[in-house]
């Protein structure tokens, strides 16, 4: 096979060369995820000056370098210095921590590794603030919460921050106060005041007592991260690393932030850095970063592998055990989940930590009943801890339980008024539960009063049509109805939409389904919105998610639910999607069935996510075509029963996953040849013809081919800012001039060759200044037949016919273009006018309505639709359009007059 990719709008020869170079560049970009450890920030100039101060003794200089994570050779020659460095870098299995004479370092390492009982024994007689903190941490880990709170009260009662001169002690006092608030709540009702006291203590430590005491800034960073204030948490963690680049806690915080932002490549680079810090031992922080990333990417097996590395060395590490329990839930292995939760209770009786981790992970996987149960129990165990209530409230929002969510989030806000997601979501839910709704048989549409009512009102009938298509038993339908009505929530702006889905205003799509709830950003141009779009198509996609998630009990591979949703958009692929798929087939970069799931959440290249959507849809289409429309439904039922993908493929398709991919790849190649995107074996492309013309004997032909490839690669490098490959611009290469005459000569020999037809069209357009004329019609029609997926000939034919004596001839080409349009109504508007010109009023009305749905708040489009409706005899539709105009332009008396006239006419006609 040969590719026929050409870049239009350039000189013809350059177009050929740069088309190949673009493919190569895309392949190189896909490998960019293989970067090394995250770079270390530059050391703060202030820290650097302090470390180089002349008054420091050698011993003081060594201690400072260890504290700031930049120890030199010789600074950690003693077990005590090595132990301090190991604590900072997260190397809790470093042998120095078992032999150091500093008992507090040894105890801290034990508690950080999960050996809380041993830490308690070592610190039993220690009366320092640090010793108290280690005991407090150990008691908390063991679930002995009453003792933990009593110890905090005793320690803080005896501590006077006004007289303390130790930044370390004041920082520990702040940490104790923060922990006490989580365990028991504030001593009074002023939770905000208590947090402000903790922040004041941290400010005293790092501003008044020791400006270089980075652990105080680290506590602030953790506090910001726990309150979902990601930007400021990131800044604070980066500041810590400029003062101590070896701080494993700061790196771990950056890893958590990367995972929360779905930056999995960044998370892996952080994990690599943590591995470096802990060498030659195991970094529990790196294992946790990778495990959390794997859980977010729906890869529980990978999460367990990474956690196993840490738990083999530190079998009682609390956070690892909690996330290990969550991995069983994400794998839908609820029996194992219960067993692991019970095991965690043996290690930490009464602790809510594992319940919280598992509940939050299950909520992210849309396992709402199980998530709500676990998070409710976590909150019951530790009622003053806001985090379980925040996750519970957000989960209830996703599940459509808005009244319960309001109560939960209100309680969470009382406990933690600084949490960004809780604050955002509470503000939103307080508002949305007051909004009016429009209810149909299968949907509830909720909207903010005002102009949104225009869209909400017309959604009902369209949604019911969507329901019939998506839930029906006809080929392609899911043959399943959700047990409850689906809530469609029209967000007034994009920020509100994003908060509805994630709790933060920072996702960039126009609609999202959480199961029983579909949130929608209104199709509008202007600030605060993503722009106009085909909302019926988008909602058909999202409602398919709702239905497939319901049928499978939310247990469906990511690619499969997206594939079914794209399939039921009922629209042809656009040309960029076809070209993306063709490149993947030609270059052997189709995703396998593991990689395609990762590509949605862990893309390595800029086109990975788009390819995952497109390839998944194509594979789903292949399954329906080869095995019939019931095959995907049978697979969904197996997923609902807990079967994995391999079992579903074997039982329904009779193939292994590997054989399926092999068969699909052949199918994809044949389809691309049929569409004229790839050439069949034996059919030369223009590149081959050029090589043939350059040489006569086979040896010279191969040499010329290699030199041409080098030239193509070199020009591609130059076009993307790199240096040309060595020898790429060899002036001795005898390139023939690709003239229009040469193209036409070749085309006469191969009249249906898609690549030559495209070049011939480009040549003709070049001779005509870019304006096609009627003499090009036969050539354009031949190309449209030879490469059926390319809109270019249809655009040119539509342009020719619209300027001809019979503009109606443009209609089939405009229809081709309109069927592939997702964000603009230009083709629908033009079709409405053309059908009206032909007095085909029904078709004119359909296109006018489609145009108004792209931009439902545009009065001009509403007027056009009302006019077409009257012409088509659809007074009911005309009335609805004029009612929308009255709401959109309430000061326009003419709309009310027209509405009254249409209503009277309907009365006379009895409809």
Sorted by sequence, the CB contacts under 8 Å of residue 550 that are 6+ apart come out as 480, 481, 482, 483, 515
Instruction: Output the CA–CA distances (angstroms, integers) from residue 675 to 617, 681, 760, in the order listed.
Output: 17, 15, 19
Sorted by sequence, the CB contacts under 8 Å of residue 58 that are 6+ apart come out as none
| Distance between CA atoms of residues 883 and 885, nearest Å | 5
The pLDDT assigned to 696 comes to: 58
In the beta sheet, which residues pair with residue 523? none
Closest CA to 36 of 266, 256, 249, 248: 266
The pLDDT assigned to 6 comes to: 37
Please tell me what DSSP assigns to residue 808: G
State the pLDDT confidence band at 720, using cuts at 50, 70 and 90.
Answer: very low
Residue 667: count other Cβ atoms within 10 Å of its Cβ: 16
Token couple for 298: 């729906």
Percent of the chain at pLDDT > 90 equals 76
In the beta sheet, which residues pair with residue 490? 447, 520
Q: What is the rounded end-to-end Cα distance, in angstroms, of the chain?
A: 60
| Distance between CA atoms of residues 454 and 19, nearest Å | 46
The pLDDT assigned to 689 comes to: 87
Read off the pLDDT of each residue in 735-761 and give the average, rounded to a whole number. 89
- Reported as a single tens digit per residue, the pLDDT across 597-607 is 888 877 888 89
Token couple for 388: 């379980």
Read off the pLDDT of each residue in 360-376 and give the average, rounded to a whole number. 95
φ, ψ at 537 (rounded to 5°): -65, -45
Task: Report whether pLDDT(610) > 80.
Answer: yes
Instruction: Kindly report the three-state secondary structure assignment for every residue of 291-307.
Output: HHHHHHCCCHHHHHHHH
| Distance between CA atoms of residues 649 and 685, nearest Å | 38
**What is the value of pTM for the model shown?**
0.83
The pLDDT assigned to 492 comes to: 79
Read off the pLDDT of each residue in 719-740 and give the average, rounded to a whole number. 50
- Reported as a single tens digit per residue, the pLDDT across 862-881 is 999 999 999 999 999 999 99
The pLDDT assigned to 813 comes to: 98
| Distance between CA atoms of residues 690 and 12, nearest Å | 13
The pLDDT assigned to 601 comes to: 76
The pLDDT assigned to 630 comes to: 97
- Strand 486-491 and strand 511-513: pairing? unpaired
The pLDDT assigned to 697 comes to: 61
Buried residues in 226-258 as b, exposed as e (16+ CB within 10 A): bbbbbeebbebbebbbbbbbbbbbbbbbbbbbb
Q: To which residue do tokens 């009593």 refer?
A: 150
| Distance between CA atoms of residues 640 and 645, nearest Å | 11
State the pLDDT confidence band at 754, using cuts at 50, 70 and 90.
Answer: very high
Please tell me what DSSP assigns to residue 650: I
- Reported as a single tens digit per residue, the pLDDT across 162-183 is 899 999 999 999 999 999 999 9
- Reported as a single tens digit per residue, the pLDDT across 33-86 is 457 999 999 999 999 999 999 999 999 999 999 999 999 989 999 999 999 999
| Distance between CA atoms of residues 902 and 898, nearest Å | 6
Token couple for 683: 């059919």
State the pLDDT confidence band at 909, using cuts at 50, 70 and 90.
Answer: confident
The answer to whether the CB of 757 falls within 8 A of the CB of 779 is yes
- Reported as a single tens digit per residue, the pLDDT across 198-215 is 999 999 999 999 999 999
The pLDDT assigned to 507 comes to: 53
Buried residues in 368-390 as b, exposed as e (16+ CB within 10 A): bebbbebbbebbebbebbbbbbb
The answer to whether the CB of 247 falls within 8 A of the CB of 241 is yes
- Reported as a single tens digit per residue, the pLDDT across 221-242 is 999 999 889 999 999 999 999 9
Whole-number average pLDDT of the chain? 89
| Distance between CA atoms of residues 6 and 439, nearest Å | 51
Task: Report whether pLDDT(453) > 90.
Answer: yes
535-551 and 630-640 helices, crossing angle to 10°: 50
Read off the pLDDT of each residue in 255-275 and give the average, rounded to a whole number. 94
517: enclosing H helix or E strand: strand 517-521
439: enclosing H helix or E strand: strand 437-439
Percent of the chain at pLDDT > 70 equals 89
Read off the pLDDT of each residue in 251-258 and give the average, rounded to a whole number. 97
Task: Report whether pLDDT(690) > 90.
Answer: no
State the pLDDT confidence band at 29, using cuts at 50, 70 and 90.
Answer: very low
State the pLDDT confidence band at 17, using cuts at 50, 70 and 90.
Answer: very low
- Reported as a single tens digit per residue, the pLDDT across 409-433 is 999 999 988 888 888 889 888 988 9
Task: Report whether pLDDT(138) > 50.
Answer: yes
Q: 217 in the Ramachandran plot: left (φ > 0), alpha (ψ -120 to 50) or beta? A: alpha
| Distance between CA atoms of residues 670 and 690, nearest Å | 25
HSE on the CB side for 422, CA within 13 Å?
A: 24
- Written as one string, the DSSP assignment of 700-729 is HHHHHHHHHHHHHHHHHHHHTTSPPPTTTT
Sorted by sequence, the CB contacts under 8 Å of residue 71 that are 6+ apart come out as 62, 65, 81, 85, 246
| Distance between CA atoms of residues 614 and 581, nearest Å | 7
The pLDDT assigned to 122 comes to: 92
Q: How far is CA 80 from the centre of its chain?
A: 45
577: enclosing H helix or E strand: helix 575-586
State the pLDDT confidence band at 514, using cuts at 50, 70 and 90.
Answer: confident
Please tell me what DSSP assigns to residue 574: P
The pLDDT assigned to 604 comes to: 82
State the pLDDT confidence band at 262, using cuts at 50, 70 and 90.
Answer: confident
Task: Report whether pLDDT(3) > 70.
Answer: no
- Written as one string, the DSSP assignment of 205-234 is IIIII-TT-HHHHHHHHHHHHHTT-HHHHH
Contacts 24+ apart (CB under 8 A), 544-548: 544/470, 544/478, 544/568, 545/513, 546/482, 546/486, 546/513, 546/515, 546/516, 546/518, 547/470, 547/471, 547/478, 547/480, 547/481, 547/482, 548/478, 548/636
The pLDDT assigned to 298 comes to: 87
The pLDDT assigned to 20 comes to: 30
Sorted by sequence, the CB contacts under 8 Å of residue 137 that are 6+ apart come out as 111, 116, 119
- Reported as a single tens digit per residue, the pLDDT across 471-511 is 999 989 999 999 999 999 998 776 676 666 655 545 557 77
Task: Report whether pLDDT(725) > 60.
Answer: no
Please tell me what DSSP assigns to residue 697: S
Closest CA to 764 of 4, 8, 2: 8
The answer to whether the CB of 112 falls within 8 A of the CB of 142 is no
Closest CA to 892 of 852, 864, 863, 853: 863
The pLDDT assigned to 49 comes to: 94
């Amino acid at each position: 096979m040969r590719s026929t990719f050409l870049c239009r709008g350039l000189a013809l020869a350059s177009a050929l060369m740069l088309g190949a170079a673009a493919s190569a560049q895309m392949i190189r970009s896909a490998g960019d995820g293989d970067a090394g450890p995250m770079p270390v920030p530059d050391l703060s100039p202030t820290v650097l000056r302090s470390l180089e101060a002349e008054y420091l003794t050698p011993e003081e200089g060594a201690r400072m370098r260890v504290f700031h994570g930049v120890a030199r050779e010789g600074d950690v020659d003693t077990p005590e210095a090595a132990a301090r460095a190991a604590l900072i870098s997260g190397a809790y299995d470093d042998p120095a921590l078992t032999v150091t004479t500093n008992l507090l370092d040894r105890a801290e390492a034990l508690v950080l590794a999960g050996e809380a009982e041993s830490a308690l024994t070592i610190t039993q007689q220690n009366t320092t603030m640090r010793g108290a903190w280690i005991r407090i941490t150990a008691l908390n880990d063991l679930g002995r919460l009453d003792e933990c709170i009593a110890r905090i009260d005793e320690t803080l009662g005896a501590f006077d921050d006004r007289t303390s001169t130790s930044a370390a002690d004041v920082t520990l006092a702040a940490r104790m106060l923060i922990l006490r608030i989580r365990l028991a709540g504030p001593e009074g009702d002023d939770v905000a005041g208590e947090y402000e006291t903790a922040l004041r203590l941290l400010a005293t430590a790092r501003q008044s007592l020791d400006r270089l005491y980075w652990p105080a800034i680290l506590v602030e960073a953790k506090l910001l991260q726990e309150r979902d204030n990601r930007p400021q948490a990131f800044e604070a963690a980066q500041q810590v690393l400029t003062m101590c680049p070896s701080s494993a806690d700061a790196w771990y915080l950056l890893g958590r932030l990367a995972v929360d932002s779905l930056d999995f490549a960044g998370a892996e680079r952080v994990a690599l850095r943590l591995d470096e810090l802990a060498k030659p031992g195991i970094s529990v922080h790196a294992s946790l970063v990778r495990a959390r990333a794997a859980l977010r990417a729906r890869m529980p097996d990978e999460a367990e592998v990474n956690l196993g590395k840490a738990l083999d060395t530190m079998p009682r590490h609390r956070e690892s055990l909690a996330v290990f329990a969550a991995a069983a839930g994400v794998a839908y292995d609820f029996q194992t989940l219960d067993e692991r939760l019970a095991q965690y209770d043996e290690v930490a009786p009464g602790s809510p930590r594992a319940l919280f981790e598992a509940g939050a992970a299950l909520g992210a996987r849309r396992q709402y009943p199980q998530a709500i149960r676990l998070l409710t129990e976590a909150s019951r165990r530790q009622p003053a801890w806001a985090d379980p209530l925040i996750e519970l409230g957000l989960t209830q929002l996703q599940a459509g339980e808005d009244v319960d969510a309001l109560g939960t989030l209100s309680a969470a806000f009382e406990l933690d008024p600084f949490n960004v997601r809780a604050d955002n979501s509470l503000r939103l839910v307080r508002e949305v539960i007051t909004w009016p709704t429009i209810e149909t048989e299968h949907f509830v549409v909720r909207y903010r009063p005002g102009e949104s009512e225009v869209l909400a009102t017309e959604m009902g009938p369209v949604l019911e049509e969507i329901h019939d298509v998506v839930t029906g038993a006809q080929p392609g339908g899911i043959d399943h109805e959700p047990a409850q009505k689906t809530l469609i929530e029209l967000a007034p702006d994009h920020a509100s939409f994003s908060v509805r889905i994630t709790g933060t205003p920072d996702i960039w799509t126009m609609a999202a389904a959480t199961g029983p709830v579909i949130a929608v950003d209104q199709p509008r141009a202007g600030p605060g919105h993503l722009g106009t779009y085909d909302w019926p198509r988008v909602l058909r996609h999202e409602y398919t998610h709702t239905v497939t998630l319901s049928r499978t009990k939310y247990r469906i591979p990511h690619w499969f639910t997206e594939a079914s949703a794209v399939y039921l958009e009922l629209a042809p692929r656009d040309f960029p999607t076809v070209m993306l798929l063709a490149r993947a087939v030609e270059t052997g970069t189709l995703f396998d069935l593991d990689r395609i799931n990762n590509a949605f959440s862990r893309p390595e290249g800029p086109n990975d996510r788009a390819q995952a959507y497109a390839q998944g849809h194509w594979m789903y289409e292949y399954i329906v075509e080869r095995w019939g429309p019931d095959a995907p439904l049978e697979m969904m039922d197996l997923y609902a029963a807990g079967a994995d993908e391999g079992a579903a493929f074997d039982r329904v398709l009779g193939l292994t996953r590997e054989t399926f991919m092999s068969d699909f790849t052949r199918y994809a190649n044949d389809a691309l040849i049929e569409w004229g995107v790839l050439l069949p074996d034996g059919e030369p492309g223009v590149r081959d013809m050029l090589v043939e013309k350059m040489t006569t004997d086979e040896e010279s032909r191969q040499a010329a081919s290699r030199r041409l490839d080098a030239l193509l690669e070199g020009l591609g490098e130059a076009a993307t800012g790199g240096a040309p490959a060595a020898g790429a611009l060899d002036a001795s290469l005898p390139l023939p001039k690709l003239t229009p005459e040469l193209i036409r000569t070749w085309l006469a020999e191969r009249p249906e060759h898609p690549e030559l037809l495209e070049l011939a069209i480009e040549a003709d357009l070049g001779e005509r200044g870019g304006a096609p004329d009627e003499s090009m019609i036969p050539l354009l029609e031949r190309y449209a037949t030879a490469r059926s997926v390319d809109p270019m000939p249809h655009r040119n034919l539509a342009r020719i016919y619209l300027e001809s004596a019979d503009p109606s001839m443009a209609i089939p080409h405009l229809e081709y273009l309109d069927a592939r349009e997702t964000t603009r109504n230009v083709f629908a508007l033009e079709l409405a006018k053309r059908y009206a010109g032909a007095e085909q009023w029904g078709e004119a009305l359909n296109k006018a309505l489609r145009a108004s749905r792209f931009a439902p708040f545009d009065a001009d489009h509403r007027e056009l639709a009302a006019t077409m409706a009257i012409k088509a005899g659809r007074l009911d539709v005309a009335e609805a359009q004029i009612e929308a105009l009255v709401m959109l332009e309430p000061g326009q008396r003419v709309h009310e007059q027209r509405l009254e006239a249409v209503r009277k006419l309907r009365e006379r006609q009895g409809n």
